[in-house]
Structures are given as C-alpha cells and as structure tokens.
C-alpha cells in the first residue's frame, strides 16, 4: 500500500481554535479536547457542525492492546450501521476490528502499525460487515501519534462506498 507524504498544515487563528475547540497542534488532539468531543452534553454546536460536514467517520483509536476507541464520530452509523457509542470506551459493546472481513484484518492492522509517527498518512482499503449483513468497502486514512507516555494512537477518517472498491478510491482523488 502506498504511503502518502503529509502536507504541511497551517494552524488556525487562536480565536477560531477557541471558538470551535480545534487542536492547536496540527497532528494531535489533546486528551482534554478528545474528552470534550466524546462527552455529548459538552459538545458545542460549532464542533457538531464541523464534524457533521465530514462524509465519513472520524476516530481516535489506541494502536496497542486493547485497541480501545476514545472517540468516534456519529457518522459511524452511516458507515457501519451501528451507533458510535457502541464502539467507544474501555469495554465497548463492539470493536471495529470485529467488523473487518477476516481476510483483511491482518493487512489493516499491519498497515497501521507500520506507519511512522512523523505525520505521514497511512491509507488502507478493506471490507467491513455492516449491521444489515452487507459488506462495504472502506477507505481509511490515518496518522499515528505517540502520546507523551509512549502510547501510539491513530487519528483518522474512513469513508464507505456502496458501489464497490473503485468508488471508495475515487474519494481520495
């Protein structure tokens, strides 16, 4: 799978960062921001609006056992057919890796483990079993971030295509 070079990101003006709680650092979401994103009662309308514009799911997942998901956007319902709340937390009702087609699991994990933590974007395509039993192609792009305690995290986005592999690939162009 081809690795793409990360484009330099511009930081947003401080007033914009504060108004919609964007991260100050282009490659990470500080834990406090992630908690704000994950706690429904404290989400701002601006953040909800921002997240709602993404035609796929946005996630933050630990890239080490137990591979728990700290944040998953509500668009997960349209991608996988399950609400995001079922995947989040230390003991979630569901784990994303369990939805991945058995023939694709190892490749997806290896791709994400192999990406360097330098801002490089990893890209992987795979199939998932949706709640209705259908298979969907997923194109996932993510960056590996290493927390100060050494824990690796994935920050990424995934989109789905109901018409097959070629449509999922056209999204990235």
Q: Which domains does the chain have, with CATH numbers?
A: 14-170 (3.30.450.20)
Q: What is the structure's pLDDT at 19?
A: 42
Res 89: pLDDT: 81
Predicted local distance difference test score (pLDDT) of residue 164? 53
Helices in 1-116 by DSSP H: which ranges? 14-20, 31-38, 45-52, 76-80, 96-99, 105-114
pLDDT less than 70: residues of the chain: 1-43, 161-173
d(CA 168, CA 28): 26
pLDDT at 73: 87
Per-residue model confidence (pLDDT) at position 48: 72
Task: Order across the sheet with 57-62: list the strands.
Answer: 69-72, 57-62, 152-161, 135-146, 121-129
What the block records as the tokens of 11 is 């930081």
């Amino acid at each position: 799978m081809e690795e793409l070079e990360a484009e330099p990101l511009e930081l947003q003006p401080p007033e914009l960062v504060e108004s919609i709680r964007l991260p100050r650092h282009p490659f990470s979401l500080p834990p406090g921001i992630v908690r704000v994103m994950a706690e429904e009662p404290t989400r701002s309308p601006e953040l909800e609006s921002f997240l709602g514009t993404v035609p796929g799911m946005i996630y933050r997942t630990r890239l080490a056992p137990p591979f728990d998901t700290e944040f998953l956007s509500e668009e997960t319902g349209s991608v996988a057919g399950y609400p995001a709340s079922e995947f989040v937390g230390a003991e979630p009702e569901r784990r994303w890796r369990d939805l991945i087609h058995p023939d694709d699991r190892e490749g997806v994990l290896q791709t994400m483990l192999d990406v360097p933590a330098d801002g490089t974007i990893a890209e992987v395509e795979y199939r998932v079993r949706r709640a209705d039993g259908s298979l969907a192609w997923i194109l996932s792009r993510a960056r590996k971030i290493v927390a100060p305690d050494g824990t690796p995290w994935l920050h990424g986005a995934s989109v789905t295509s109901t018409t097959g592999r070629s449509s999922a690939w056209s999204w990235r162009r």
